[in-house]
């Protein structure tokens, strides 16, 4: 598997995932520096099949149109997204990229259309649902703290500890983590109830 994390302007991360045999590729959350993403695709001779959005905030999708015009590829968003998309996905759907399986986990909370993508059961592209050392904000339109709690504790934290976490933004000086490490070190994930989660998240977002 070819896997590349790209640091974009504004502290965002974009991702390129590809099957090394077929050269089929996806771009996840194309941020402000679409030229850099395009250069990588060309350099590696990759065929862009999908442009995937974890949610509809502009800092994660602003490069989508430029990549689609240059390389083609089908845009993918959750069925509740405000974005125009070629493919609408929901919980349990799978995108096939050569021999790579990309599972869809619907994780509302940061936004109503937030999704995480689990690549071959090993790498979680979490957007703004779960960050290293903290959780996504719910203070913008479509955010809902109760939904975020359910997404984290009923879905994400049930995945294996060795699943690698790749967030939509960098915080605290680390670009990635594992779910096991986040379960141990992320204060918000220590909550034993929704009420305790509210208290801990309030502290973690100050």
Give the model's confidence band at 204: pLDDT under 50 very low, under 70 low, under 90 confident, else very high. Answer: low
Whole-angstrom distance, CA of residue 53 vs CA of residue 27:
9
pLDDT at 206 over 50: no
Give the model's confidence band at 203: pLDDT under 50 very low, under 70 low, under 90 confident, else very high. Answer: low
pTM of the model as a whole: 0.95
> What is 2-204's CATH topology?
Metallo-beta-lactamase; Chain A (3.60.15)
44-56 average pLDDT score: 97
Question: Where are the strands (E) in the chain, listed by range?
Answer: 2-7, 13-18, 24-28, 47-52, 74-78, 87-89, 94-97, 100-106, 115-119, 123-127, 130-131, 134-135, 164-167, 177-178
Chain segment 80-129, per-residue pLDDT in tens: 999 999 999 999 999 999 999 999 999 999 999 999 999 999 999 999 99
Residue-range domain boundaries for the chain: 2-204
Which DSSP state fits 66?
H
Give the model's confidence band at 162: pLDDT under 50 very low, under 70 low, under 90 confident, else very high. Answer: very high
Length of the chain in terms of residues written = 206
Give the model's pLDDT for residue 172. 65
| Average pLDDT of the chain, as a whole number | 94
149-163 average pLDDT score: 98
Give the model's pLDDT for residue 11. 83
């Amino acid at each position: 598997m070819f896997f590349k994390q790209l640091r974009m302007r504004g502290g965002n991360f974009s991702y390129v995932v590809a099957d090394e045999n077929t050269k089929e590729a996806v771009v996840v959350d194309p941020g402000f520096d679409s030229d850099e993403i395009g250069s990588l695709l060309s350099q590696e001779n990759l065929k862009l099949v999908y442009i995937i959005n974890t949610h509809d905030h502009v800092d994660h999708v602003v490069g989508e149109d430029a990549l689609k015009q240059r390389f083609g590829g089908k845009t993918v968003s959750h069925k509740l997204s405000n974005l125009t998309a070629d493919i609408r996905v929901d919980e349990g759907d799978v995108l096939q990229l050569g021999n790579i399986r990309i599972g869809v986990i619907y994780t509302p909370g940061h936004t109503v259309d937030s999704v995480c993508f689990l690549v071959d059961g090993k790498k979680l592209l979490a957007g703004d649902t779960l960050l290293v050392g903290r959780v996504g904000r719910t203070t913008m339109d479509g955010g809902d703290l109760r939904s975020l709690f359910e997404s984290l504790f009923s879905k994400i934290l049930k995945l294996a500890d060795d699943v690698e976490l790749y967030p939509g933004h960098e915080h605290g000086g680390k670009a990635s983590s594992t779910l096991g490490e986040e379960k141990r070190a992320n204060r918000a994930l220590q909550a034993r109830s929704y009420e305790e989660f509210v208290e801990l998240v309030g502290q973690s977002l100050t």
